[in-house]
Structure 1
């Protein structure tokens, strides 16, 4: 149990499973004669499961509050709890189907939230669950069939953590591993009970037929296992399988694109990333990968745009700040990189990579005055939009907002359609609380680049304050 909880925290469900085991097989009198010595029986069960319960709960809490980084948040706030749980009625049918006939396994199935709650898939799943619970209660009353009740209880208890807590992935086939242990107890025992009830094992002819059937079934599952291992042989074949089975799965498309990016097939990778963007427009990891890919293709304007989109989309993970800082360091922009690395560490104090990178650049950091002087000298020699943009940002981060705006105005003389310049002006005007001028600048940025997420965020910031 301890190893299980440290491997996957759903292992804490061993405790309620142990309780059901003790209730069904060791202290069954509580069910058969509930009114007699009830308090004594409950205390007896409590004594048996209490040690495991204390260890399980304390270890879970220790993991959750002391070992899990503060930036980790697996709860999906984009859906309501009711929508998520009602969809799980259908997801459970999906899992049961894979138990019976696992011919459509996927490393990342793209099951989405089902609306409304009275959708036929949800209602059918609800009926299946009610049916299984009915079988569980009926079989719990007979000694011979208690393993069926125990297996069904195991299945539902092991599923509870991923069923009640809204996760970003609505379904994932690896969640079946723990619950399926229960079905592997209940189903074979149920088959054995049926075979014995109808005396199907008494005749040698029937025994031979049943044995042949089981050999065929086991052989089919074995063949399926070999085929599935071929899919899992490499990340390339694994994510291709996901893309084929779930062509609208943004995460699957992105991960398959990553396999091509690793091979240097940048154009193919970009195609899959853009397809992923259609289905997951608010996926910050995708924007980070798009930024890294565009950097590799020497499209630095797009790279920065995607990094900033990732920064605007996520407030919990240190990843957007870390990767953008790494990009800035490659361009010798150490002071700017320092800001983002400190933000990453603020989000996740134990983010080792950010600490190491910050330590690495500590000797290269310049004062604000040195950085501004250096950029000014470079502009005098060779004025360019990129240098003016860097100067504008340097002024901005040092709270010299009017100078930041002035740098952008000079930039626009060289490049009148520079969306980044208008966005920087918007952010600076917002800091000066000149909300209307900020909104006007951001509207120009969005007119030039309709997909400029950072400018949209700054425009919202300005408009919210105008309305207030």
Structure 2
């Protein structure tokens, strides 16, 4: 009895030492990332999002998903993320990256420590051994120090990935740590709650069902098969019910303006088998990491890469199932199945880019579990008589983890600034139009307009229909006294994405710079209709109104309406709306102008705005038959369009 107590105390001390070493390794590896700047979607979810600047908005985050982003197409229901961002903003005293990175890193540390515990408990299912604790810590260290995961830790808005993954791991940890509470299903809550950070956390229900299938609790030999099946279903049902309910709730709260982003679902889907192959390769050999890959969707299954990916998926599934069948290799099989299942949400839902490293943040947990299972299987089947062999193995593991940590430390440097990040993208993904455009933006920011224009024109070869590229090209052209070309490209951006507030905002800024405040004000009003929390548009509107006061009106309401009708006939609907708004600035009760706005919105497919404009027209002119017809058309379309 006394010997058991001593052994338990020794194991606890060793576990504490291992956890401390793990924490120190992570702190040393990520010590250079806390001042790294905002990137990508941080712009519209943090930098330009007024909602996160007030803690009093926290209850609003849970009621209104439009507070998540200043861009309508990116407004998804993630109140936990918005709440964290608002707290970080307050604690940091503004838009200082340190506080944002610090909170994410705290979650990441917690996740890594819990992962060590979960891996340890899984290994004990296979074969109980004193080595399992150290294998669990080493596996968690590999995950925490893996350079591919650095892209998620450095990308602030990817805190959604960290939080949702933490929820899944925490649910397993609670299940293992507190068996007496299992009957109350408390272990499901972390995963269920973090669905409000990112919906893929709902996959916990599936993972838990597989875990219970592969590692059933010990029961008496007299228990019948039917009774075991009922017990299994009773155990897994709460997870499915709770997670499904949360998932449906999140879907209901997501605005209809949100879009996944993929242009062609078929091409996206047939590319995913090859993407899975690349993800596995990156896990074991993480070279060539890029924040924005230049892999384009396949257009046909005739592409040999599709068949390479397809063959790999078949082989991977076969190995996963075979490993799951045998008791000694079930931990390996569970890890491999974890990887495949958690990838399904991004593989089957067509997204804007076919691959991103932050999408593997949760799936790579599965590969770490599988690798830990394989190492435990090998070590537990060998007899290590010599102490020197154990020391050699420990040194090899330490060297391997050091290599991962060093690579991650170097990867953090890439995320330091916009320029360092996008320069790296242009080197790793030279055919990426967005990468070239963003690197051009960094050149333009330091006054190198010639270099910026070169990047923009090269980017047009790969992305000829990219509205944001036209906006940046126009900004550079205006800065180099090419005003006519600049205005043409601003208008092209509006034509390509009439529902994007940036298309209006940056054109309005151009108009302000050219003393065209009245026109700018109308475009900014359209931008704020699309994105009420857009701080940049708000500031510009204030400037435009100030300039407009000092500029005498040059046209009449009738002339602006005539211009609006002309633009409408030319199918330049966005500009037609702006011209009508200019007429309304001079005559707010101008029914014809309201009607023309409604007709233009109908043609843009924005039926709610169309209906509102037509209702205004009928308010000022109740017998306006044309407005009544436009309103009827808008309402029919709204009724025929199911909400997302």
**Normalising by structure 1, what TM-score?**
0.71
Give the structure 2 partner of residue 371 of structure 1. Answer: 554
Give the structure 1 partner of residue 498 of structure 2. Answer: 315
Match of 2:563 among 392, 396, 399: 396
Counterpart-to-counterpart distance in 2, 1:212 and 1:8: 39
Other structure's SS at 1:301 match: helix
Q: How far apart are 1:225 and its partner, in Å?
A: 1.6
Q: How far apart are 1:334 and its partner, in Å?
A: 3.1
Higher radius of gyration, 1 or 2: 1
Give the structure 2 partner of residue 57 of structure 1. Answer: 247
Q: How far apart are 1:244 and its partner, in Å?
A: 1.0
Q: How far apart are 1:98 and its partner, in Å?
A: 0.9
Give the structure 2 partner of residue 24 of structure 1. Answer: 214
Counterpart-to-counterpart distance in 2, 1:246 and 1:154: 29
Match of 2:361 among 177, 199, 213: 177
Give the structure 1 partner of residue 260 of structure 2. Answer: 74
Match of 1:243 among 426, 429, 454: 426
Counterpart-to-counterpart distance in 2, 1:183 and 1:28: 27
Q: Which segments of 5 or more consecutive residues in structure 2 lack a partner in the other structure? A: 1-166, 168-191, 570-598, 600-644
Whether contact under 8 Å (1:334, 1:365) holds in the other structure is yes
Q: How far apart are 1:125 and its partner, in Å?
A: 1.7
Q: Over aligned residues, Cα RMSD in angstroms?
A: 3.4
Q: Report which stretch shifted further, 214-223 or 164-173.
A: 214-223
Counterpart-to-counterpart distance in 2, 1:187 and 1:101: 14
Correspondence list, 1:240-319, <5 A: 240-319=423-502
Whether contact under 8 Å (2:433, 2:463) holds in the other structure is yes
Match of 1:221 among 404, 419, 431: 404
Other structure's SS at 2:361 match: helix
Q: How far apart are 1:124 and its partner, in Å?
A: 2.1
Whether contact under 8 Å (2:294, 2:429) holds in the other structure is yes
Correspondence list, 1:426-437, <5 A: none
Whether contact under 8 Å (1:92, 1:125) holds in the other structure is yes
Other structure's SS at 2:459 match: helix
Whether contact under 8 Å (1:72, 1:316) holds in the other structure is no
Match of 1:45 among 217, 235, 248: 235
Q: Which segments of 5 or more consecutive residues in structure 1 lack a partner in the other structure? A: 375-390, 403-430, 432-468
Match of 1:232 among 415, 440, 461: 415
Give the structure 2 partner of residue 164 of structure 1. Answer: 348
Q: Report which stretch shifted further, 338-347 or 315-324.
A: 338-347
Counterpart-to-counterpart distance in 1, 2:224 and 2:275: 35
Counterpart-to-counterpart distance in 1, 2:350 and 2:379: 41
The answer to whether the aligner puts 1:108 opposite 2:292 as a matched pair is: yes
Whether contact under 8 Å (1:150, 1:186) holds in the other structure is yes
Structure 1 residues 9 and 47: alpha-carbon distance in aligned structure 2, compared to 1, 3 A threshold: closer
Structure 1 residues 190 and 296: alpha-carbon distance in aligned structure 2, compared to 1, 3 A threshold: same
Whether contact under 8 Å (1:200, 1:207) holds in the other structure is no
Give the structure 1 partner of residue 33 of structure 2. Answer: none
Counterpart-to-counterpart distance in 2, 1:202 and 1:129: 40
Q: Which has the higher contact order (CA 8 A, sep 6+)?
A: 2
Measured against aligned partners, the alpha-carbon deviations of 1:110-159 in whole angstroms (never above 9, x if no partner) come to 11122431433222222222222222222323343322222122212221
Give the structure 2 partner of residue 427 of structure 1. Answer: none
Whether contact under 8 Å (2:205, 2:236) holds in the other structure is no
Structure 1 residues 401 and 76: alpha-carbon distance in aligned structure 2, compared to 1, 3 A threshold: closer
Structure 1 residues 89 and 5: alpha-carbon distance in aligned structure 2, compared to 1, 3 A threshold: same
Other structure's SS at 1:371 match: coil
Measured against aligned partners, the alpha-carbon deviations of 1:183-231 in whole angstroms (never above 9, x if no partner) come to 111112112213434x264555643443343233222212212221222
Whether contact under 8 Å (1:153, 1:182) holds in the other structure is yes
Whether contact under 8 Å (2:511, 2:519) holds in the other structure is yes
Other structure's SS at 1:90 match: helix
Q: Report which stretch shifted further, 81-90 or 9-18.
A: 9-18
Structure 1 residues 234 and 352: alpha-carbon distance in aligned structure 2, compared to 1, 3 A threshold: closer
Structure 1 residues 393 and 105: alpha-carbon distance in aligned structure 2, compared to 1, 3 A threshold: farther
Q: Report which stretch shifted further, 326-335 or 304-313.
A: 326-335
Q: How far apart are 1:276 and its partner, in Å?
A: 0.9
Question: Across the two proteins, how many residue pairs are aligned to each other?
Answer: 376
Give the structure 1 partner of residue 378 of structure 2. Answer: 194
Counterpart-to-counterpart distance in 1, 2:209 and 2:405: 34
The answer to whether the aligner puts 1:324 opposite 2:491 as a matched pair is: no
Whether contact under 8 Å (1:71, 1:347) holds in the other structure is no
Q: How far apart are 1:15 and its partner, in Å?
A: 3.5
Structure 1 residues 290 and 93: alpha-carbon distance in aligned structure 2, compared to 1, 3 A threshold: same
Whether contact under 8 Å (2:267, 2:297) holds in the other structure is yes
Give the structure 1 partner of residue 113 of structure 2. Answer: none
Match of 1:155 among 319, 322, 339: 339
Whether contact under 8 Å (1:71, 1:318) holds in the other structure is no
Correspondence list, 1:444-459, <5 A: none
Q: Report which stretch shifted further, 38-47 or 103-112.
A: 38-47
Q: How far apart are 1:293 and its partner, in Å?
A: 1.7
Other structure's SS at 1:72 match: coil
The answer to whether the aligner puts 1:87 opposite 2:286 as a matched pair is: no
